[in-house]
Amino acid sequence: MNAWHRHLPEGLEQSEVELLAGETLPSVWVRQWREQPQRAVIHDPESGWVKGQELLDRSEVVAQRLGHAGVEPGDRVLLSATSSAELVVAHVAILRLGAVVMPTNGAYRAEEVEHVVSDGRPKVAIVEQPEWREWIHSADPSVAVTSPSVELETGRNIRLDRTETTDPALIAYTSGTTGRPKGAVLSHGNLLSSVRGLEIAWRWTPDDTLILALPLFHMHGLGVGLHGSLAVGAKVVLLSEFNVDEVLHSIAKFDATMFFGVPTMYSRLLESPKATELEQLRLCVSGSAPLAAELHQSIHRVTGQHVLERYGMTETAMLVSNPYEGERRPGAVGFPLPGVEVRLEGDPAEIQVKGPNVFSGYWERPDENTEAFVDGWFRTGDLGAIDPEGYLSIVGRAKELIISGGFNVYPREVEDVISQYEPIQECAVVGVPDEEWGEAVIAFVVADREISDEEIKNFVGERLAHYKRPRRTYTLKTLPRNALGKIQKNRLVGQIET
């Protein structure tokens, strides 16, 4: 399915679209800032508006400090903090140095942090949580840990901005289809081509101002919201957390034109009596999880907005989007974005993709890389259908994944933790439909006594990020298994629906 011409504005031919032009993320950003040093780029509550010149200067200082600390091109730097201009400066600095950012979810607990550190072997970790220092050092005592202001010593004059399109920019941890989190290695070219495609498809221009309340440690907030705004030369207003009143207030205050969010954010915004503030936006985008058709319609009824739903993955950045012009179809994700090819393979039909945006593989995982691709096509693990007008819909998942409020939860990871709890003999974790979160994490356990929701929440919450805690736990005598001994999760879900 090579239907991306459907995203092009009138007068632009497919053959004229150039998504890469040998550039990198920082080469594009730095050029914009040099050309318009006095132009406001990022806003955060602490710094106010930060201009291009300041981003150039501050990122250079931080890059020199990291270089002095021994970070060389290709080395990894772990980065985890609440959204702020300071975090953006650190991100830009790492990339200008030619090093690779490992964006890491700030809700991670000790075992998750230790895994990422042992696997990715960063040279420096820039983190805001004091307790992470100990966790990082227990995995690797040689990592230099510093705060988001990167108060490291400076020294020799290191040359910046020498990175190439094919060089890695990010290692983003995701569990892919199975197993422990692995690092998806995304190059500058992967990330830049994706935002170039969005720039065209969403008619993103320097006149836009985006309200960004998504965290900057996952693809949606970082790879779409931040990278896109910086590449286009548009403005971005960073909110340190998602708060309904703050988002709605910021739209008017900053004369914003765009908002990007996950479905849970839209359902919360809609509950506000001030939801009509969304009316003034040029574009509202939803992604990371399915946007229910009813929610799509309710948002339109209340605010007049036809939310544009799109589909992406950590491994591929953005893949498919509803059109800017033309029908934004509820329940569908739309057409492949510029440069992206999509095909459906097998029965049930798996969505497979190709394009300059698709990563080259997982960090140091040759076996899993062989499984992840078939004839050069990346297997998404999502199941799809294409309707007669060419709209793609995601109809299910071949992979075991729960998406709760836009965050991914891998049942296996939660099961491994629950199994460590002494009273538990065996367990299974499933996702069930949930109005607020899209899907909710539910645990089934076998034990000699009744296990309470709170017990499991606390046990898991001490070991894994808060959003991975099961909302409810059911104690059973046995788990249903098929003839091969595999737990029948669909039968478990059936038990709680009745």
Minimum distance of ligand AMP from residue 312's CB (angstroms): 6
- 124 contacts 144 by C-beta, under 8 angstroms: yes
- Residues β-bridged to residue 336: 320
Least distance to ligand AMP from the beta carbon of 131, Å?
25
Q: E-strand spans in 262-360?
A: 283-286, 308-313, 317-321, 335-336, 341-345, 350-354
Strands (DSSP E) found in 129-262: 144-146, 168-174, 182-187, 209-212, 235-238, 258-261
Q: Angle at Cα 419 formed by Cα 414 and Cα 424, nearest 5°?
A: 125
Minimum distance between the CB of residue 382 and ligand AMP, rounded to whole angstroms?
Answer: 5
Contact window for ligand AMP (CB under 6 A) among 33-41, 188-196, 308-316, 447-455: 308-316
The correct pick among 116, 125, 226, 313 for binding ligand MCA (CB under 6 A) is: 313
Minimum Å gap between C-beta 104 and ligand AMP is 14
With contacts defined by CB under 6 A, how many residues of the chain interact with ligand MCA? Answer: 22
Q: Name residues contacting ligand AMP, limited to 330-349 (CB under 6 A).
A: 333
Euclidean distance between CA atoms 134 and 329, whole angstroms: 49
For ligand AMP, the binding residue among 148, 181, 312, 336 (CB under 6 A) is: 312
- Compare residues 218 and 227 and give the one whose CB is closer to ligand MCA: 218
Q: Which does 394 bind (CB under 5 to 8 A by kind): ligand AMP, ligand MCA, none?
A: ligand AMP
CA quadruple 107, 283, 309, 25: dihedral sign: negative
Angle at the Cα of 4 from the Cα atoms of 198 and 438, rounded to 5 degrees = 60
The residue at minimum Cβ distance from ligand AMP is 314
How far apart (Å, rounded) are the C-alpha atoms in residues 137 and 122?
Answer: 11
Q: Which is nearer to ligand AMP, 148 or 384 (CB)?
A: 384
288 touches ligand MCA by CB under 6 A:
yes
**If binding is defined by CB under 6 A, does position 312 make contact with ligand MCA?**
yes
3-state DSSP assignment of residue 65: helix
- Which residue shows structure tokens 């500058």? 188
Q: Which two tokens stand for residue 223?
A: 């790879």
Total number of residues that touch ligand AMP (CB under 6 A): 18
Which whole-number Å values give the CA distances from 448 to 405, 423, 454, 476, in the listed order?
A: 33, 7, 17, 9
Query: CB of 357 within 8 A of CB of 317?
Result: yes
Residue 406 Cβ vs ligand AMP, minimum distance, rounded to whole Å: 8
The answer to whether residue 354 forms part of the interface with ligand MCA (CB under 6 A) is no
- Cα gap 309→402, rounded to integer Å: 19
Residue 221 interacting partner from ligand AMP, ligand MCA, none (CB closer than 5 to 8 Å by kind): ligand MCA
Positions 210 through 229 that interact with ligand MCA (CB under 6 A): 214-215, 218-221
Window 399 to 418, contacts with ligand MCA (CB under 6 A)? 404-407
Of these, 215, 290, 330, 338, which contacts ligand AMP (CB under 6 A)?
Answer: 290
- Choose the contact partner of 406 out of ligand MCA, ligand AMP, none; CB within 5 to 8 A by kind: ligand MCA
Q: Is 254 left (phi over 0), alpha (psi -120 to 50) or beta?
A: alpha
**Binding partner at 4 among ligand AMP, ligand MCA, none, C-beta below 5 to 8 Å by kind:** none
Nearer to ligand AMP, 351 or 427 (CB): 351
Residue 333 contact partner, candidates ligand MCA, ligand AMP, none, CB within 5 to 8 A by sort of partner? ligand AMP
For ligand AMP, the closer CB: 148 or 287 = 287
Cα 301 to Cα 16, 256, 273: the distances in Å are: 38, 21, 14
Are 316 and 187 spatial neighbours (Cβ–Cβ below 8 Å)? no
382 binds, among ligand AMP, ligand MCA, none (CB under 5 to 8 A by kind): ligand AMP
For the CB of residue 220, give the shortest distance to ligand AMP in the complex, in Å. Answer: 8
Tokens of 2: 């090579």
Task: Residue 122: name its binding partner from ligand AMP, ligand MCA, none (Cβ under 5 to 8 Å by kind).
Answer: none
CA dist 321 → 260, 326, 329, 337, 354 (Å): 13, 12, 10, 6, 15
User: Using DSSP, how many helices (H) and how many strands (E) does the chain show?
Assistant: 14, 26
Binding flags for ligand AMP, 116-155, as an x/- string (CB under 6 A): ----------------------------------------
- The pattern of x and - marking residues 158 through 197 that bind ligand MCA according to CB under 6 A reads ----------------------------------------
Q: Which residues of 157-169 are buried (b: 16+ CB within 10 A; e: fewer)?
A: ebebbebebebbb
Give contact residues for ligand AMP (rule: CB under 6 A). Answer: 174, 219, 287-290, 309, 311-314, 333, 380, 382, 394, 397, 403, 408
Give contact residues for ligand MCA (rule: CB under 6 A). Answer: 214-215, 218-221, 242, 262, 264-265, 287-288, 312-314, 404-407, 437, 466-467
